[in-house]
Structure 1
Amino acid sequence: MRLGQEIPEFVTSCEWLNSRSLLTEDIRKVSKPCCFHFWAISCGLCKQAMPRFKDIYDKHKHNVQFISVHTPLSEKDKNMDEIGNLVEEYHLKQPIAVDHHEEISEAFHVKFVPAYYLFDDLGKLRHLQRGKTNVNLLEKNIQRLI
């Protein structure tokens, strides 16, 4: 994906935690910035960044729509009990798509996790981070949009 592109269309059969199933049209109806957060339970960098991401979510959850997407890196990442344990351990409250068939990940062309895609209130991509990056940069870009 490139800056300025719209939230990609996706149809998913995945399970959702903390939410009913969301579609692209549901997300676009919300008139506020949207942050997609891609991660995996086997990703050490994801776990390292999770507490800071949780702080950002807690601080901005009323002004930004957050959607997390668990993207499996291997078959072991498809263990729902382990996913649930991590969600509980980090007290994650945002909608979480468990993307076992990688339908959402493919729509976003996710190659590395963690990955953060930040869209403005019109659904245009304004910030993108992938892999080992400083999560504080995400917050700075959120603050620019709200």
Structure 2
Amino acid sequence: MNSKVKMYLGIVAFILFLGGAYAAYSSLSEKVDPSQGAPINQEVSISQDAEKDSSANKSKLLAADFTVYGTDGTPYKLSDFQGKPVVLNFWASWCPPCREEMPHFNDVYQDHKQDVVFLMVDLVDGQRETEESGINFVQEQGYDFPIYIDKNLQAATIYGVTTIPTTLFIDAEGYVFTGYKGPLKKSTLETVVNSMLKK
């Protein structure tokens, strides 16, 4: 195959890729309310119907285990925290929507840190985000919640995180309660945390 044919095939493949990406973006953007995070999965999202319909329990998904690291290098697994509800937030210091919601997480953490585990997972890729940049950001802002490092993006890969912030709420039994993509309002965060505590 000569180089011109390869070049044309490459251009066609790239155009098809762009078309598919645009179609996916258009489909997703229609469902997103920019004023608050969008539910990740209708089956596990809190909705009025789910609260009224006991058949919503059929949609319970066991949260996959993963390992992240404390700022001192100590490894932690999600399963280490079973027995308490978990707020699992994927973020990075360079991400403006992540920065927007961080004060809300800090406030709700202060109110519920005895009863709820906050896994604030910094997605460290070694380029845009380093351990130092994430730690420095949290310290500079005076946030009290502990942060965890996803050094090899294992947790993000397991959960298919493609945009940040992404937040998953996991109940005390280890099942996904609900999840959102995009920045959360404080009221949404409080409502979901209180719902998990009432279970």
Give the alignment's TM-score, normalised by structure 1.
0.84
1:1-146 correspondence runs (5 A): 2=41, 3=44, 4-10=60-66, 12=67, 15-17=69-71, 20-28=74-82, 31-72=83-124, 75-78=127-130, 80-146=131-197
Q: How far off is 1:73 after superposition?
A: 6.8
SS of the residue 1:75 aligns to: coil
Relative to structure 1, the CA distance from residue 18 to residue 94 in structure 2 (aligned partners, 3 Å threshold; closer, same or farther) is: farther
Q: Name segments (4+ residues, structure 1) moved above 6 Å.
A: none
Larger helix share, 1 or 2: 2
* Counterpart Cα distance in 1 of 2:85 and 2:125: 28
Q: How far off is 1:7 after superposition?
A: 1.7
Q: Alignment identity in percent?
A: 23
Structure 2, unmatched stretches of 5+, are 1-39, 45-59
Say how many residue pairs are matched. 141
Relative to structure 1, the CA distance from residue 123 to residue 56 in structure 2 (aligned partners, 3 Å threshold; closer, same or farther) is: same
Structure 2: which amino acid aligns with 1:130? K
* Counterpart Cα distance in 2 of 1:111 and 1:97: 18
SS of the residue 2:145 aligns to: coil
SS of the residue 2:109 aligns to: helix
SS of the residue 1:111 aligns to: coil
Cα RMSD of the aligned pairs, angstroms, is: 2.2
Q: RCO higher in 1 or 2 (8 Å CA, sep ≥ 6)?
A: 1
Structure 1: which amino acid aligns with 2:191? K
